[in-house]
Structure 1
């Protein structure tokens, strides 16, 4: 059980094979593995990711918005699809070097795509479209939050992108989350690719409602490379073993109230 006053974000482990989804109560699945899939699969609560990191960081563009919306509606009835992540453009320096863009340009593209997809996906009979905030410095994230704020409702579930490569120092991530919180304290934030190091920080956990991570597969792969032993990085054993460890992580310190 969680100690009184301690908040731990809800984890959606990323799975790169749909057969793994049935082993966990919730997960995140990339659109990249659903594009050509025909049949339904067993899954509980889940989020459909846009595959932005894989696509943009390797020089590819996003799927055309009409196609992305079509895929989102196709899978809306499979399990409990809680959210479809809006297509975004990351702002890390190495990504800007690939695209030749700027932080401002990537933020503008992210906003424009959200507004486009909202008319196609976030309809009365469609799944929830999760907007994504982009930037690199806390001030840039706050600026993007102000830009998107008129279009996003109260208590909305909002993603925070471009954070997975900066988490050797959790205070850096915490500063970003706190800057967003200063603009819209009502938003329920989702952290993409959040590492266990950051989940040990109460400053980070205090500002996140949900997180996702593919670290379980990476950890299993590194274990096999180092020792030649351990579960396959594609196995349910590796996934469930990692989830058990994540469940036992406790942030440092205690907070005054629990996010809901």
Structure 2
């Protein structure tokens, strides 16, 4: 789709790495790169791709494909299932996430890697902010800051409160894996977000009229219509949403 669309896309490194190198690819849109961290940690319990190799791949994408707005680092998610998989604590995942960003920035300062906040509770995310600050990273001065570990609870009041609190601190957040429910709750406080919800929905429905494929899970026409519908709904919803409510709503306590 990178060659065919004009609206922004979020593309996985795992997918691009599988492409035959002999096939040239030039982006027709602005796009961002997902490191594929959730899959990597789910499969292996650790990162098996050295940072230098990942940075080299990102450099290749930026040079040959073009249009790269930002790239996620090799971060460490903090969902309970991921902690169980790695055997590490939230604090250790946060330290490794920050350390990887600093390392990538050091070895490839010209590439648009973004810092990612990881945690589970609001206190966790605020602690992660302080880790970056201690390393001299001024998050509020950056064009984008990733917000991780929200996908599987992305439409909850707790995440809405976390997003609003961080946004009040001046952070331009990118929400990873934010579905429509989450976008309706706090989309106006995100600078950007990605989602595969459209593909999952299409996989469970018959193809669009006149389409000959089994379903529209990889269909540009379906994706374009889904995106436009979500944007229209959000424009209406955001006019009715109140930031004060999100900032003052007590966050639900969750086990880390």
Deviations 1:88-142 (A, max 9, x none): 0000001111111111111011011111111122x2xx23111100000011001
Give the C-alpha shift of residue 153 in structure 1: 4.9
Q: Which moved more, 1:247-256 or 1:171-180?
A: 247-256
Structure 2 residue 60 is the aligned partner of structure 1 residue 74: yes
In 2, distance between residues paired with 1:168 and 1:82? 26
Residue in structure 2 matched with residue 141 of structure 1 by the alignment: 125
In 2, distance between residues paired with 1:223 and 1:147? 44
Q: Given that residues 81 and 127 in structure 1 are in contact (C-alpha distance below 8 angstroms), is that contact kept between their aligned partners in structure 2?
A: no
Trace 1:107-186 onto structure 2 (pairs within 5 A). Answer: 107-121=94-108, 123=109, 126-149=110-133, 150-156=136-142, 157-169=144-156, 171-181=157-167, 185-186=169-170
Structure 2 residue 34 is the aligned partner of structure 1 residue 52: no
Deviations 1:188-235 (A, max 9, x none): 11100111111112xx1342111111111101012249xxx9842111
In 2, distance between residues paired with 1:100 and 1:224? 41
Q: Given that residues 173 and 191 in structure 2 are in contact (C-alpha distance below 8 angstroms), is that contact kept between their aligned partners in structure 1?
A: yes
Trace 1:244-255 onto structure 2 (pairs within 5 A). Answer: 244-250=228-234, 251=237, 253-254=240-241
Name the SS of the counterpart of 2:44 in structure 1. Answer: coil
Structure number with higher strand proportion: 1
The counterpart of 1:207, out of the listed 186, 189, 203, is 189
Residue in structure 1 matched with residue 17 of structure 2 by the alignment: 35
Give the C-alpha shift of residue 255 in structure 1: 5.5
Label 1:153 to 1:101 Cα distance change in 2 as closer, same or farther (>3 A): closer
Residue in structure 1 matched with residue 84 of structure 2 by the alignment: 97
Alignment RMSD (CA, Å): 2.2
Q: Given that residues 45 and 85 in structure 2 are in contact (C-alpha distance below 8 angstroms), is that contact kept between their aligned partners in structure 1?
A: no
Structure number with higher helix proportion: 2
**With structure 1 as the length reference, what TM-score do the two structures score?**
0.80
Structure 2 residue 180 is the aligned partner of structure 1 residue 196: yes
Q: Given that residues 231 and 237 in structure 1 are in contact (C-alpha distance below 8 angstroms), is that contact kept between their aligned partners in structure 2?
A: no
Q: Which has the higher contact order (CA 8 A, sep 6+)?
A: 1
**With structure 2 as the length reference, what TM-score do the two structures score?**
0.81
Give the aligned length. 227
Give the C-alpha shift of residue 23 in structure 1: 2.3
